[in-house]
Amino acid sequence: MHPNAAFAWEDRDALRVFAQDIGFGMLFMATPEGPRVAHLPFVFLAEDRLGFHLARNNAMTKYLDGAEALFVVNGPDGYISPDWYGMDNQVPTWNYCAIEMQGNMRQMDAAALIAQSDALSLFQESKLAPKPVWNRSKMADGYFEKMLRGIVGFNMDITAWRGTRKLGQNKPDAVRNAAADGAERAGKRDIADLMRNLP
Tell me whether residue 137 is in a domain.
yes
Mean pLDDT, rounded, of the chain? 95
Do 191 and 172 contact (CB within 8 A), yes or no? no
Do 50 and 153 contact (CB within 8 A), yes or no? no
For residues 164-169, average pLDDT: 96
pLDDT for position 3: 87
The reported pTM is 0.92
For 115-124, how does the pLDDT look when each residue is reduced to its tens digit (9 = 90+)?
Answer: 999 999 999 9
Tell me whether residue 105 is in a domain.
yes
| pLDDT over threshold 80, residue 199 | no
Tell me whether residue 195 is in a domain.
no
For residues 7-25, average pLDDT: 95
- How much of the chain, in percent, has pLDDT values that exceed 90? 88
Tell me whether residue 173 is in a domain.
yes
Tell me whether residue 85 is in a domain.
yes
pLDDT for position 164: 96
Band of residue 107 on the pLDDT scale cut at 50, 70, 90 = very high
pLDDT for position 158: 98
pLDDT for position 198: 85
Tell me whether residue 158 is in a domain.
yes
Residue 166: its H or E element: strand 151-166
| pLDDT over threshold 90, residue 156 | yes
Residue type, 17: V
Cis peptide bond upstream of 132, omega within 30: no
Q: Which domain holds residue 92?
A: 5-184
Band of residue 62 on the pLDDT scale cut at 50, 70, 90 = very high
Tell me whether residue 193 is in a domain.
no
pLDDT for position 1: 78
| pLDDT over threshold 80, residue 130 | yes
For residues 91-102, average pLDDT: 97
Backbone angles phi, psi at 21, to 5 degrees: -60, -35
Band of residue 2 on the pLDDT scale cut at 50, 70, 90 = confident
Tell me whether residue 129 is in a domain.
yes
For residues 23-33, average pLDDT: 96
Q: Say which CATH number the domain at 155 has.
A: 2.30.110.10
**Helices in 61-170 by DSSP H: which ranges?**
61-64, 110-126, 143-148
- Tally of structural domains, the chain: 1
